Amino acid sequence: MLPTLMLACATQALQIQPPTALERCYEGQRIVLRAALELPGELLDRRLLQLYQQPLDVPLELSVPWWNGTDLLEPREELPVSAADSARLVFGGAVREFSRSERPDAFGAPLVEVALERAFVARRAGELTLAASRVRGAYATQFGDDLVLGATALDREEFTLASEARVLRILPLPEAGRPAGFRGAIGDLRVQLELGAPEVAVGAELALRLVVEGEGNHGEFDVADPLLPAGAHVRARSAAHEPGRSRFEFAVVSERAGELELAPLEFAYFDPRVAEYRIARASALRARVVAHATAAPPTPVSSPAPGAGFSARSTLLKACAIGGAALGILAAVWVLALRRRVE
């Protein structure tokens, strides 16, 4: 049997990392939680034993009870893992890829961290308890040689470690100072207005895009229609969201020709870092609305007037007669000049 002291040292070196450094968040806020382990490189390379027939980069099994959400926490997307810096371990009963990184400890020895991150949205106010995570593994310090199996552990011992539960307070958004135009945006955000084209025809759709960027609860908030001058309205709208970016597109239609002035836009959001509502502003825009192009009237085709055919034929005969006379005169002059040259 592995001595108790050796097992205690090994398990103390293996750490289940806290899921977050936050102590509080706000209702509707998007937060990122981590399932992470840190262990010495020497422990990983020489002491940990495989648990299953399928060899794993990190032969451990990690269980996180809150990973698929709780009554106060709604799960969202998992953050991507780079295939170039990843490690496989058992997580939630399946083999998963975790991000892998290294750093030196106080003595310069490598410490390996494996982590998987997921976004969550705090759905309502209350006290959220993130239950303890658990990791299971097998450890040995003495190995023997087997002609068939190769190196075999002589003092194999399985162990289970548990982290401490973590409490996260979810606060309601404050009523004081809440702007009238607030639509649920929370984070550190900035906005920009974009036009699909500088010019549009009367009655045609002009794309107006409001782009919201930054760290925030994208996909969880809405925006109001833009303020438009008289004679213009929003015919349709759509929205697209991705991590770090939301885009709202409005199909604006103007029934009047001239300059379409789009007023500066104010976007209200709550910044949880300072627990204050803030206003992000986008500059005014201008587009030209042109009238529909008017087709030129066709050139009328009229029938010839009575007698017009006879007049045209008479004119043609006169031109032919004059041309014939001119040719006769030129011929006579040429003959006379030829005779004089001969004489």
- Calpha distance 311→301 (Å, rounded): 20
Residues 13 and 135 in one domain: yes
Residue 257 has pLDDT above 50, yes or no: yes
User: Number of folded domains in the chain?
Assistant: 2
**Residue 336 covered by a domain:** no
Q: Is the pLDDT of residue 89 over 50?
A: yes
Question: What is the predicted pLDDT for the residue at 45?
Answer: 84
Pair (217, 120) in one structural domain: no
Confidence band for 78, pLDDT divided at 50, 70 and 90: very high
Residue of 341 and 90 predicted with greater confidence: 90
Q: Are residues 43 and 128 in the same domain?
A: yes
- Identify whether residues 226 and 94 lie together within a single domain: no
Last residue in a domain, options 269, 290, 311: 290
Q: What is the pLDDT of residues 194-211, one digit of tens each?
A: 999 999 999 999 999 999
pTM for the whole structure? 0.76
Same domain, yes or no: 194 and 94: no
Last residue of a domain, one of 171, 196, 213: 171
CA proximity to 133, closest of 172, 169, 162, 112: 162
- Compute the average pLDDT of residues 98-112: 94
Residue 90 counted as domain residue: yes
The DSSP call for residue 80 is: P
Q: Both ends of the chain: CA-CA distance in Å?
A: 148
Which amino acid is located at 127 in the chain?
E
Helix (H, G, I), strand (E, B) or coil at 134: strand
- Tell me, yes or no, whether 215 and 98 share the same domain: no
State pLDDT tens for residues 279-298. 999 999 999 999 974 444 55
What range defines the domain where residue 121 resides? 4-171
- Tell me whether residue 96 is in a domain: yes
Instruction: Mark whether 165 and 213 lie in a shared domain.
Output: no
